[in-house]
Amino acid sequence: MNAGKMPLKLNTSGSVLFLLLICSVKLAPAGYREDSFPSPDSELQQSLQKAVEAMNLTEPLAERRLAVSLVDVTDAQNLRYAGLNDREMMYAASLPKICVLVAGFERILHGQLAYTPALKEMFTRMIRFSSNFDASCAIQTVGFDYIAKVLTSPKYQFYDATQDGGLWLGKAYGGPGDYWKRDPLHHLSHGATSLQVARFFLLLEQGRLVNPQYSAEIKEILSKPGLHTKFVKGLEDRPGYQIYRKSGTWSKWHADAALVEGADRKYIAVALMEDPRGGEIFPNLIKKMDSLIGPR
């Protein structure tokens, strides 16, 4: 059974009320989204398009089964961005576990949750090893409603019903009390657009995810990936690289997102794909993306 896209009958009036309620919560002044996220760079855009075509991925790209975002942050004053199908919201498996981190640290920031060693260990297992048990416990600790409020808040707008959706976490990963709400636009339980995931990692890199102190904590939790698959597998022969990453896999859906730091380059790479071969494609895809970054 397709746990991500199973049809669901919705009460239209209830969905509208739900959106109004979660969008009314303000964690920061409106307009925070004016965060200098770079517009597409024509040169990088063309290079990314050619790289994907060279991998014979034209068909899944045309069928909107592949979405890619790449942000060159090597020069913090001259960010470059390229995206393909980057507003296409897709099932993203475990990747939206990053939503628990930002919401959890917002609770911590506002004194609503204690940042204990046990909580940090739970967050770490959820991210580095993609532990479903720890993810479900963390979701219950932070709260579904609060996670939705953070994702849709003016501070972040990671999910925007007027902008094709975005990042969404509407279901835990097993255990009692598992089900909550699918996203209002696409009815996905765990969804993402590559653009909004790229924004998440850019805010992290800039120290603007929650605040500088907790951005550093989140970045540390995203370090030292425990699963050597997809992007990590593709870059494992590059000595000196630091990778801050979250991936996801379920059935034919594959997702990976990372902030990659090397001696002469720094970039954010995101890929979402609906294809059984995704796990084999992503290591080569990240190599192609890596080759597009660095001194010009």
DSSP string, the chain: --TTT------HHHHHHHHHHHHT--SS-TTTT-S-PPPBPHHHHHHHHHHHHHTT-HHHHHTT-EEEEEEE-SSTTS-EEEEESTT--EE-TTGGGHHHHHHHHHHHHTTSS---HHHHHHHHHHHHS--HHHHHHHHHHH-HHHHHHHHHSTTT-SEETTTTEE-EE-B-SSSTT-B----TTT--SEEE-HHHHHHHHHHHHTT-SS-HHHHHHHHHHTSS-S---HHHHHHTTSTT-EEEEEEEEETTEEEEEEEEE-SS-EEEEEEEEESTTHHHHHHHHHHHHHHT-S--
Reported as a single tens digit per residue, the pLDDT across 53-77 is: 999 999 999 999 999 999 999 999 9
> pLDDT-based confidence at 254, cuts 50/70/90?
very high
pLDDT at 25 over 90: no
pLDDT at 27 over 70: no
pLDDT at 95 over 60: yes
pLDDT at 121 over 50: yes
Arithmetic mean of pLDDT, 144-161: 96
Question: What is the predicted pLDDT for the residue at 83?
Answer: 98
pLDDT at 131 over 70: yes
Report phi then psi at 264, rounded to 5. -120, 10
Question: What is the predicted pLDDT for the residue at 31?
Answer: 33
Which has the minimum average pLDDT: 123-127, 171-175, 255-259? 171-175
> pLDDT-based confidence at 180, cuts 50/70/90?
confident
How would you classify the pairing of strands 165-166 and 253-261?
A: unpaired
Which has the minimum average pLDDT: 18-27, 127-136, 199-208? 18-27
Question: What is the predicted pLDDT for the residue at 155?
Answer: 96
Residue of 257, 148, 140, 162 lying closest to 204 (CA atoms): 257
pLDDT at 108 over 70: yes
Question: What is the predicted pLDDT for the residue at 22?
Answer: 40
Report phi then psi at 97, rounded to 5. -60, -20
Question: What is the predicted pLDDT for the residue at 176?
Answer: 64
**Beta carbons within 8 Å of 70's beta carbon, 6+ residues apart:** 44, 48, 81, 82, 83, 198, 267, 268, 269, 270, 289, 292, 293
Arithmetic mean of pLDDT, 159-175: 93
pLDDT at 164 over 50: yes
Question: What is the predicted pLDDT for the residue at 18?
Answer: 40
Question: What is the predicted pLDDT for the residue at 75?
Answer: 95
pLDDT at 33 over 90: no
283/118 Cα distance (integer angstroms): 33
pLDDT at 276 over 60: yes
CB 251 within 8 A of CB 227: no
* Helix axes 144-152 and 98-109, enclosed angle (nearest 10): 90
Measure CA 259 to chain center: 11
85/214 Cα distance (integer angstroms): 31
What average pLDDT is seen over the chain? Answer: 89
pLDDT at 10 over 80: no
Question: What is the predicted pLDDT for the residue at 177?
Answer: 64
Arithmetic mean of pLDDT, 257-279: 97
Reported as a single tens digit per residue, the pLDDT across 195-252 is: 999 999 999 999 999 999 999 999 999 999 999 999 999 999 998 999 999 999 999 9
Which residue in this structure is represented by tokens 């409603």?
145
276/93 Cα distance (integer angstroms): 14
